[in-house]
Amino acid sequence: MCGIVGFYGPDDVAHDIVFGLTALQHRGQDAAGIATFDGNFHLHKGNGLIADVFRPKFLKKLKGNIGIGHARYTTQGSNDSELAQPFTTSYPFGLSMVHNGNVINFRDVAKRLHEKYHVLPKTSNDLELIMYTFASELRTKDLDHLSVVDIFDAVETTQELVEGAYATITVIAGYGLLAFNDPRGIRPLVFGRRETPNGPVYAFSSESTCFDYLGFEFIKNVGPGQAVFIDQNFKVHYKNPYQQPKNFCVFEHIYFAREDSVIHGRLVARERVRLGKLLARRVKEAGLQPDMVIDVPSSGYFAASGLAEAIGVPYRRGLVKNNHMGRSFIVSSQAGREDVVKKKLNPIRAFVEGKKVAVVDDSIVRGTTSRRIVRILREAGAKEVYFISSAPPIISPCIYGIDMAMSTELIAANHTEQEICDYIEADRVIYQSVEDLKELFSVEKGHGGSCFACFTGNYPTGDVTRYLRHIQEERQSHRSKKDKALAATSVSAKAPEPTEH
Ligand SMILES: O=P(O)(O)OC[C@H]1O[C@H](OP(=O)(O)OP(=O)(O)O)[C@H](O)[C@@H]1O
Ligand SMILES: NC(=O)CC[C@H](N)C(=O)O
Ligand code: SF4
Ligand SMILES: [Mg+2]
């Protein structure tokens, strides 16, 4: 995931950036960063949530009427704070860049940068590869008179060379604010504008929800291969330098994006209700007659309400979530995820006791959440528990910016539905069908093409075996380091045994 924003207007933009990132916090909790420019770049980044990283004293230093921000959910490299975005470079121009996504041909891109430009990325964050490819292409232009055509040319070469998913925003010092998407538009990016007494402010954001908070008017999606550049005179330039057929991530609709965001013209909440309604047929075919439908908060809510409506049984909130625990799925170690799930959800016994409960979640990834939930519902007295997933079984890793890259972790990649049901100790497991999902997001229904790779194994960028092999090795080494560190912390954080006197 990752949340990105960029602002350019007549006044300082740091506060807008912080508000914008806060609205996108659900997209990344590992680290956050902001870069602004007022003749010099001002950069502040660190590990943690937006509210922790950007205390008021740091905000004061972030001067400038142009800037970008990032909420990171690590998919490449480690969680170290120096790998947090934005990244900056000073040659051939001052550039500062953020991205959401994942580069999959990073070895080829790194090799070319080295051989052709003698550039060596300093870290393992894939953002550097996009940024240096773009910067290196700018070097080939007339550096005294960089034009909009030159900028879009450099975007085109970057889009041709860099494979994978990348929605990007870049401050080009002294020139303006640029946003471009990968050729297939896998990740979301929207463009908007707000009028102020001093002139217009332009903004880019991963999701439109951020515009609602900040009073921006939506202008357009920055879709497949598209680029938008706002120059120093606040003139907006559009170009589609290099496009491939659209393959927007369908999982953004199922889970990642916020319910109040509109993505490619579709309100996320409404699509989730539709997904819930589609599940009704499967529940009926299985002969299930639940007494109530409950959701796994928060992201299961809309699908649960859609299912309840379609099968004519009451919806209840049967599980209460501690909102301060964050998303378990994007915690980067298994031990950490289990800890979050444990502390996060509490059942309402009076509602579920003695009932046949259909519990709806957006998806089952590793099975950590579902297993725990079935258990707590049974402990609270539920007579039967049917676990219903509004996503189909996830059988293949995502390589486009979602951290479920290891097949070994995906429960549906290696187990039948019955085995999953046994593992999570439910009376029945029901999944959305891939056909129904494809029908809902079909080209005919005006959605354009979608990526369904984690449900089908067909990747829009073609054969990805080489990438998968490499990333699995890399993940394994980061994970084991992380899990060891977490285990060590939980031991040292344990209360000391009372001593006898
Ligand atoms: O099978 P698992 O590996 O447990 O992953 C699936 C769970 O992860 C997500 O929830 P999460 O707690 O991350 O966030 P949410 O509060 O936004 O639903 C998702 O909504 C599922 O509940
Ligand atoms: N989820 C993302 O978009 C991650 C962006 C980038 N690959 C990183 O790890 O920082
Ligand atoms: S593989 Fe799945 S999660 Fe990844 S981009 Fe495609 S649909 Fe989205
Ligand atoms: Mg969840």
CATH superfamily of 3-244: Aminohydrolase, N-terminal nucleophile (Ntn) domain (3.60.20.10)
Question: Using CB atoms within 10 A of its CB, is residue 217 exposed (0-12), middle (13-18) or buried (19+)?
Answer: exposed
Q: Report pLDDT for 486.
A: 45
Kindly provide the ipTM of the predicted complex, given to two decimals.
0.96
**Is 210 annotated for ligand binding?**
no
183, 234, 265: which is closest to 8 by C-alpha?
A: 234
Q: Are 217 and 262 in contact (CB under 8 A)?
A: no
CA distance 473 to 49: 28
CA angle 146-147-151, nearest 5°? Answer: 90
Token pair listed for 56: 């008021």
Is 2 one of the annotated active-site residues of the chain?
yes
**Is 299 annotated for ligand binding?**
yes
| DSSP helix/strand/coil, 315 | strand
Query: Does ligand 1 come within 6 angstroms of the Cβ of 332?
Result: no
For residue 464, the number of C-alpha atoms closer than 13 Å in the C-beta half-sphere is 24
Pocket of ligand 3 (CB under 6 A): 186, 249-251, 398, 400, 402, 451-454
Task: Report which bound ligand comes closest to the CA of 2.
Answer: 2
Instruction: Say how far residue 327 (Cα) sits from the centre of its chain.
Output: 11
Query: What's the pTM?
Result: 0.91
CATH hierarchy code of domain 267-453: 3.40.50.2020
Query: Does ligand 1 come within 6 angstroms of the Cβ of 302?
Result: no
Q: Which residues contact 87 (CB under 8 A, 6 or more apart)?
A: 96, 97, 123, 125, 127, 128, 131
> What is the four-CA torsion angle of 322, 101, 189, 277, rounded to 10 degrees?
-50
Domains 3-244 and 267-453 share a fold: no
Q: Report pLDDT for 497.
A: 31
Alpha helices in 228-267 (DSSP H): 250-251
Query: Does ligand 1 come within 6 angstroms of the Cβ of 365?
Result: yes
CA distance 79 to 101: 16
CA distance 102 to 346: 35
Distance 28 CA to ligand 2 centre (A): 9
Q: Report pLDDT for 478.
A: 61
* 1, 2, 382, 426: the active-site residue: 2
**Is 427 annotated for ligand binding?**
no
Q: Are 396 and 252 in contact (CB under 8 A)?
A: no
Token pair listed for 163: 């494979």
Domain spans, the chain: 3-244, 267-453
Q: What b/e string do you get for 308-320 counting C-beta neighbours within 10 Å, with b at 16 or more?
A: bebbebebbebbe
For residue 443, the number of C-alpha atoms closer than 13 Å in the C-beta half-sphere is 5
| Closest protein CA for atom 8 of ligand 3 | 249
Residue numbers of the chain with a pLDDT score lower than 70: 325-342, 404-405, 443-447, 475-501
- DSSP β-ladder status, 31-37 and 3-8: unpaired
Query: Does ligand 1 come within 6 angstroms of the Cβ of 369?
Result: yes
CA distance 53 to 55: 6
Distance 391 CA to ligand 1 centre (A): 12
Query: Does ligand 1 come within 6 angstroms of the Cβ of 329?
Result: yes
Q: Bridge partners of 292? A: 357
**Is 421 annotated for ligand binding?**
no
